[in-house]
Structure 1
């Protein structure tokens, strides 16, 4: 039996838990003291559990890591500790500290289920995924609760877990997965700003109506350690004076908070610790920087100084001391002075500047960079706020302000934000008092649970049963879904894609919408994948089709699953309608509902285990291959007018009917298509994929002759390159991967082997790690056999193309690429070795992958070996080695990937001395996007017009 409602705030900086008896009052809400280690010899219960995990070395913590409870995933070989002790240990050894797991949970650019934290840690440090780290904090709270309430285990209570309002469906799904791993399978998600406001509502008791009298629009600004959440709530007075509350808007995801302020202060002080005595080096050389581990240590010291200097009665300055390392710890210890004036200038003016209401966030990335996380280009929260109010409030600016989050312990930040809003309105806003911003979210989640329980009792009374008397006076905050959700449909070539609205903004929880006016044919027996986007502005109706144009569209993780075919059949097709619902749990649910059998439906879960477009999963988005409109509605139109002629030509070469086609006509298929469609370099993505789909449908006939096979591989690879970037690409990759085990039909022809390697290089970005490993093993074996033969080097095709294919395998563990790179360095000692070897080395040790997740990059200490090899070359006569050096020494802004400053300085000096292209110098000097010409050179092929990769 449920006895309590429990609210858990899984924060970036801290985790807190509040609870109350289900039949209690809002005044009964209490905080759960959470036992945690303060040191090797002390365990103490505190209201906040720092959301930190220390990944210790074997034996480092003795047996202390087991108490009060061993962390999730910790073992004798990989001990760990959480909370306060983790924070103190991590201050000394930051390379072992897992922090900001919640921010990583919302980072779609990495595989959030892969063990990648601590980011940039040494190779001997055991890693956990953002999901596992988050689960460990929740599991610790569960253990603390169960120890305090043995007769009422946490998993059996009424649970509310908070998430940022800006979390997308992928981050929400991963939060639920973390809760499941922690043993909390059944709970409800609640947006943090709503929770903070619920806490304020609960504190007012019977005075609530009087306290909200005269309020029209409440702005909730929640700035935590890692995110800034903006929410607007409209207040209407109902009959009898009871306020009706409606959440009308939430802001976009802003990875901007207290952590960024600490980073800014660390950047400010860094020159004083980086060996230049506080003076910037020569303008032509990069500014001195601390190694990643030392910089992380400096960030933590700056956090402590910031909290001291922004508090009431703060001193004028504080000392920031950074210890040395190893045997020279004392000799290398330095101290810098941080003044209150510097903190006010850096934090208040940098993050909350006085700006006009018409100001908008800058789009160009500023100097503020962290350790791997993608922070916004503009750190000014007030500019983001101005844009948010322009989009959602119009001329009706909020008259009431509620501030939440640890940063608002600082009176200077509260005062500045109040002044900015007053300047915009022409009058001071009313500021609602938040007595405990550190745990208001947890308390508010518990208050929300009480309100839900009270509402359930009221419903029971209306059904004729005798309920318990309501104990709480906390009105529900309505408003429904904060965003509209759209299924991406293919558009005309060269135009913006279209979308069909599945769920309009404002749809209430539990309401299921079925697109009855549109029916689709869904294929069963194969994996399907649907692309979704969301928008927090504008109004739409369910079933509405519109171009996905303008700002504000957020790409969501795709919906993906394998839908089973009827028993005894490999595939089948069924007519369905789409159904969408914002569940009571707080997540989006999409189903395909069979039109012939109303009780048959298929839930489509979110694919969140890899970065979109690089996980090799099958993909299906309203396309003719998977989901076809059968209701007479207009689908994808307007293929190029000459496309049918081109498809007819492909069918002539690879069609089912045997054609009297000469080998020369087969070989010249590409040239013939260019006569119809223009030069192939100008074929856009839509045209390329249409041609590829035609080739894929005729893949069985690719083996008719050696010429057929070479032509098919050459043209298909060109049309599918780089294997990601367009709708259905992952599905296409899944189809061509089925061809890999079949191999070549004409393997006796060396030219066919060459085209085989080129094909897989061109689509390599779409292959997952296991697939790339399989290709890598095959090509490595053929390379080894080729170099061992003194004659007949062409037996397995072009050595250069095998080399380039190997270098394109970005998803494989870096150790394999390091080993192959070392083999290549040995090969370079031969005078006849190919110049392409330097190109391959540049790809293998590059700082910025072109398509893979950033955690796949070779560590700087391993990449340095290859950079030193390039430095030994004469770059005036070896441009290939120069370009490799530019890729290996390239500055990303992520200290975990960037090479040491001294080494980059050496590269820059040599680049200038050899008159290297300015754009290559810029890549090493500062974080800069690679120009199209160099990206093509690095990739080995041009990208389709309009398609952009990570690098």
Structure 2
């Protein structure tokens, strides 16, 4: 393949996906023109328009609820699904056929994320979608990426019959963003989705870092005047499905300012989706008080309608309310609709008081009241109070032995468009700081910043701008069974062995070569893969005997390694952080030339 013409930043968002790009031969991230791709997509039946955001929704159809040519696109007259704005709007009417939040499903450890399980349906009256029409979380993410690839090629690479191969999307250098809190398995699945969409030339980048690169570029070199050595910057990214926190520290090396990402938060499934649902329940209560009760099918549609109304209100300060329409059900409402209204006052009170409550630095998220049986689905946070999660995050990552309180905040994500919420968060953080006030770094566009920043990062990787020191956002461990005499009724305890320390950079291979382990080959064996965002100082080879509460299970690697049945092989361990940003864990024989790669098993238990 020839050298890429463009560097592309691709924000595969929970709610919206964005593409930004710049010329690969640009000189500097502070001067490079960053463009946002206007993505052609269906906005109504048979109507195609170009918009800067592609809503991350996939509509599964069976041909019965859409006209034959309703889904036609300029590059595909009969696509298997609808993706984007039309999928979102039509999904409000037939929510049982809508795939939403596929990115969040990539993190769900209770399902086979390669199995066709979406649209997910927990209702008693099943959707009736045949299994062959459903998609896996990986395939749903790939469908969104495939639409973006085809849209780019249609616009940028010339005719379908004689395209310019140098300009095709898959031949550019693509930086695909993921939440900082994505663990190794979620990252691997994201790469698998990209590969399924025909995108092999990708590199992963954390979304908060991408947002920070966008800010660096927007200052046009003035960032050095906006921060000083010793500053601690919180990137607070609250998007459609998740809340993501990162800390970036400003340091000084020989008179030059340097930037280092020093902490990453846990994966928090609380964001715009939760807020939309809270708004839907508020409107449902109002309707119930006037004698109109909604069933689960209508509630699902109301949820999606509230999302659209909320985004319209928050995007324009002049809009004080938006109408919300719910399709009727039952013989008395054939062809009828239910109408209500969502107001700015309702949005601001529910979001501010319910999701960003005033709290102290010692407050923590409330523990869930565990039910013996609960409905299956996404593992949303039990406590929606994002400010309490923020207090817990800062407490877990002290700086120089002191509670980490940022000196500045960079806001990102669609939820943070609301100035009222930004000011409220700054007020809460100011109450935790001895200085009493915290600055907000200016954000040019809360929706587009991550994609823009990813393109800037691509230039920085080539030496055309300052790079944030980052690497792995957590320490990784593998479980090893303790060598001890057998005790009746007591299994051998599992110790956690650090195989990749926090901050290990891409392209690095770490090895534990001064210690041997025993590897079982030729029969089924399991390997526990673990991670921690709090134990950031463990060097490679550290053995942690009591790791409860500090180190969390990520996945079980279950496999039968090639070899003589039941043979025990002395091995050393080796872990590579690939240039793409994924992990490869190897067992290396000390008696011959054999090597075994431990494959992630994404069918969790």
Give TM-score scaled by structure 1 length. 0.57
What is the 5 A alignment of 1:836-855?
none
In 1, distance between residues paired with 2:58 and 2:195? 19
What is the 5 A alignment of 1:472-483?
472=464, 474-483=465-474
1:190-225 deviation line (CA, Å, top 9, x unaligned): 111011111111222222322323661110011110
State the partner residue of 1:356: 360
1:827-859 deviation line (CA, Å, top 9, x unaligned): xxxxxxxxxxxxxxxxxxxxxxxxxxxxxxxxx
CA gap of 1:543–1:238, structure 2 versus 1, over 3 A, is: closer
Structure with greater strand percent: 2
State the partner residue of 1:124: 129
Q: Where in structure 2 are there 5+ consecutive unaligned residues? A: 158-163, 485-489
Q: Are positions 1:334 and 2:329 aligned together?
A: no
In 1, distance between residues paired with 2:500 and 2:559? 20
CA gap of 1:371–1:63, structure 2 versus 1, over 3 A, is: farther
Structure 2 residue corresponding to 1:269, chosen from 274, 283, 298? 283
Is residue 496–residue 547 contact of structure 2 (8 Å, CA) maintained in 1?
A: no
1:305-328 deviation line (CA, Å, top 9, x unaligned): 323444553455444332213664
SS at structure 1 position matched to 2:555 = coil
State the partner residue of 1:188: 203
SS at structure 1 position matched to 2:514 = coil
In 2, distance between residues paired with 1:562 and 1:247? 38
Structure 1 residue corresponding to 2:479, chosen from 476, 479, 488? 488
What is the 5 A alignment of 1:96-175?
96-120=97-121, 122-124=127-129, 126-150=133-157, 151=164, 152-175=167-190
Structure 1 residue corresponding to 2:381, chosen from 376, 391, 397? 376
Deviation at residue 68 of structure 1 after TM alignment: 3.0
Which one has more relative contact order, counting CA pairs under 8 Å at least 6 apart?
Answer: 2
State the partner residue of 1:391: 396
CA gap of 1:309–1:44, structure 2 versus 1, over 3 A, is: closer
SS at structure 1 position matched to 2:362 = coil
1:473-500 deviation line (CA, Å, top 9, x unaligned): x311113222111111335838963211
State the partner residue of 2:216: 201
Structure 2 residue corresponding to 1:605, chosen from 588, 592, 599? 599
CA gap of 1:400–1:496, structure 2 versus 1, over 3 A, is: farther
Deviation at residue 157 of structure 1 after TM alignment: 1.7
State the partner residue of 2:515: 518
CA gap of 1:321–1:143, structure 2 versus 1, over 3 A, is: closer
Is residue 401–residue 431 contact of structure 1 (8 Å, CA) maintained in 2?
A: yes
Deviation at residue 546 of structure 1 after TM alignment: 1.4
In 2, distance between residues paired with 1:55 and 1:61? 14
Deviation at residue 409 of structure 1 after TM alignment: 1.2
SS at structure 2 position matched to 1:64 = coil
Is residue 394–residue 405 contact of structure 2 (8 Å, CA) maintained in 1?
A: yes
State the partner residue of 2:50: 45
Is residue 69–residue 140 contact of structure 1 (8 Å, CA) maintained in 2?
A: no
Q: Are positions 1:596 and 2:604 aligned together?
A: no
In 2, distance between residues paired with 1:313 and 1:209? 32
Structure 1 residue corresponding to 2:541, chosen from 540, 543, 548? 543
In 2, distance between residues paired with 1:116 and 1:68? 29
In 2, distance between residues paired with 1:277 and 1:371? 32
CA gap of 1:370–1:226, structure 2 versus 1, over 3 A, is: farther
Q: Which range is displaced more, 322-331 or 172-181?
A: 322-331
Q: Are positions 1:435 and 2:448 aligned together?
A: no
Is residue 310–residue 411 contact of structure 1 (8 Å, CA) maintained in 2?
A: no
CA gap of 1:301–1:228, structure 2 versus 1, over 3 A, is: same
State the partner residue of 2:305: 301
What is the 5 A alignment of 1:587-736?
587-597=582-592, 600-608=594-602, 610-612=603-605
- Whichever of the two has the greater Rg, that structure is 1
CA gap of 1:214–1:500, structure 2 versus 1, over 3 A, is: closer
CA gap of 1:529–1:137, structure 2 versus 1, over 3 A, is: same
List structure 1 segments (4+ residues) > 6 angstroms apart after TM superposition. none
In 2, distance between residues paired with 1:355 and 1:253? 21
In 1, distance between residues paired with 2:375 and 2:419? 26
CA gap of 1:584–1:278, structure 2 versus 1, over 3 A, is: farther
CA gap of 1:338–1:158, structure 2 versus 1, over 3 A, is: closer
Is residue 324–residue 340 contact of structure 2 (8 Å, CA) maintained in 1?
A: yes
1:743-797 deviation line (CA, Å, top 9, x unaligned): xxxxxxxxxxxxxxxxxxxxxxxxxxxxxxxxxxxxxxxxxxxxxxxxxxxxxxx
In 2, distance between residues paired with 1:501 and 1:271? 51
Structure 2 residue corresponding to 1:179, chosen from 173, 194, 201? 194
Deviation at residue 554 of structure 1 after TM alignment: 2.4
Q: Are positions 1:408 and 2:408 aligned together?
A: no
Deviation at residue 432 of structure 1 after TM alignment: 0.8
In 1, distance between residues paired with 2:10 and 2:450? 8
State the partner residue of 2:18: 16
SS at structure 2 position matched to 1:18 = strand
State the partner residue of 1:856: none
Is residue 532–residue 552 contact of structure 2 (8 Å, CA) maintained in 1?
A: yes
In 2, distance between residues paired with 1:66 and 1:359? 52
In 1, distance between residues paired with 2:112 and 2:527? 19
SS at structure 1 position matched to 2:181 = coil
Is residue 208–residue 450 contact of structure 2 (8 Å, CA) maintained in 1?
A: yes
Is residue 359–residue 386 contact of structure 1 (8 Å, CA) maintained in 2?
A: yes
CA gap of 1:319–1:84, structure 2 versus 1, over 3 A, is: closer
In 2, distance between residues paired with 1:334 and 1:255? 31
Is residue 119–residue 371 contact of structure 1 (8 Å, CA) maintained in 2?
A: no
Q: Are positions 1:534 and 2:531 aligned together?
A: yes
Deviation at residue 145 of structure 1 after TM alignment: 1.9
1:683-723 deviation line (CA, Å, top 9, x unaligned): xxxxxxxxxxxxxxxxxxxxxxxxxxxxxxxxxxxxxxxxx
Q: Once superposed, what is the RMSD of the aligned Cα atoms?
A: 2.5
In 2, distance between residues paired with 1:214 and 1:480? 21
In 1, distance between residues paired with 2:238 and 2:104? 13
State the partner residue of 1:323: 327
State the partner residue of 1:424: 432
State the partner residue of 2:562: 564
Q: Are positions 1:507 and 2:504 aligned together?
A: yes
Is residue 222–residue 404 contact of structure 1 (8 Å, CA) maintained in 2?
A: yes
In 2, distance between residues paired with 1:21 and 1:548? 51
Q: Are positions 1:584 and 2:584 aligned together?
A: no
Deviation at residue 234 of structure 1 after TM alignment: 0.6
Deviation at residue 118 of structure 1 after TM alignment: 1.1
State the partner residue of 1:919: none
Structure 2 residue corresponding to 1:575, chosen from 570, 573, 576? 570
In 1, distance between residues paired with 2:173 and 2:333? 51
In 2, distance between residues paired with 1:43 and 1:352? 38
Q: Where in structure 1 are there 5+ consecutive unaligned residues? A: 280-287, 455-471, 613-951
CA gap of 1:124–1:543, structure 2 versus 1, over 3 A, is: closer
Q: Are positions 1:56 and 2:57 aligned together?
A: no
Deviation at residue 558 of structure 1 after TM alignment: 2.2
Is residue 324–residue 332 contact of structure 1 (8 Å, CA) maintained in 2?
A: yes
CA gap of 1:63–1:339, structure 2 versus 1, over 3 A, is: closer
Is residue 496–residue 549 contact of structure 1 (8 Å, CA) maintained in 2?
A: no
SS at structure 1 position matched to 2:22 = strand
In 2, distance between residues paired with 1:173 and 1:316? 43
State the partner residue of 2:487: none
Paired residues, number = 572
Deviation at residue 589 of structure 1 after TM alignment: 1.7
SS at structure 2 position matched to 1:519 = strand
SS at structure 1 position matched to 2:588 = strand
SS at structure 1 position matched to 2:220 = helix
Deviation at residue 14 of structure 1 after TM alignment: 0.7
Is residue 312–residue 411 contact of structure 1 (8 Å, CA) maintained in 2?
A: no
